[in-house]
Amino acid sequence: MKLELSAQQKNAKAEFRAFVNQEICPDAGEWDRKEFTPPELINKIAKLGFLGAILPQEYGGQGMDMITYGILNEEIGRGCSSVRSLLTVHNMVAHALYKWGNKSQKLYWLPKFASGEIIAAFALSEPNIGSDATSVETTATLAGDTYVLNGQKKWITYGQIADIFLVFAKCEGKPTAFLVEKNSPGLSIKPMSGILGVRASMSAELHFNNCQISLENLVGKLGFGFSYIASAALDYGRYSVASGCVGIAQACLEACIKYTNERKQFGVYLKEHQLIRQMITQMITNVKAARLLYYQAGYLKEIGDPSSIIETSIAKYFASVTATKVANDAVQIHGANGCTTEYSVARYFRDAKIMEIIEGSTQIQQITIADYGYQE
First to last CA, the chain: 24
d(C-alpha 290, C-alpha 235), whole Å: 17
The answer to whether the beta carbons of residues 54 and 94 sit under 8 Å apart is: yes
d(C-alpha 220, C-alpha 175), whole Å: 11
User: Which positions are annotated as active-site residues?
Assistant: 359
159 vs 73, 153, 154, 226, 287, CA distance in Å?
Answer: 20, 10, 9, 20, 31
Return the ∠ at Cα 179 (arms to 191 and 196), rounded to 5°: 30
Distance, C-alpha 136 to centroid of its chain: 21
d(C-alpha 271, C-alpha 63), whole Å: 43
d(C-alpha 152, C-alpha 147), whole Å: 16
106 vs 13, 62, 224, 299, CA distance in Å?
Answer: 30, 16, 17, 26
Our CA dihedral for 294, 50, 90, 111, rounded to 10 degrees, sits at -130
The answer to whether the beta carbons of residues 206 and 181 sit under 8 Å apart is: no
d(C-alpha 376, C-alpha 310), whole Å: 12
d(C-alpha 250, C-alpha 288), whole Å: 9
The answer to whether the beta carbons of residues 287 and 326 sit under 8 Å apart is: yes
d(C-alpha 237, C-alpha 148), whole Å: 28
CB atoms within 10 A of CB 215: 11
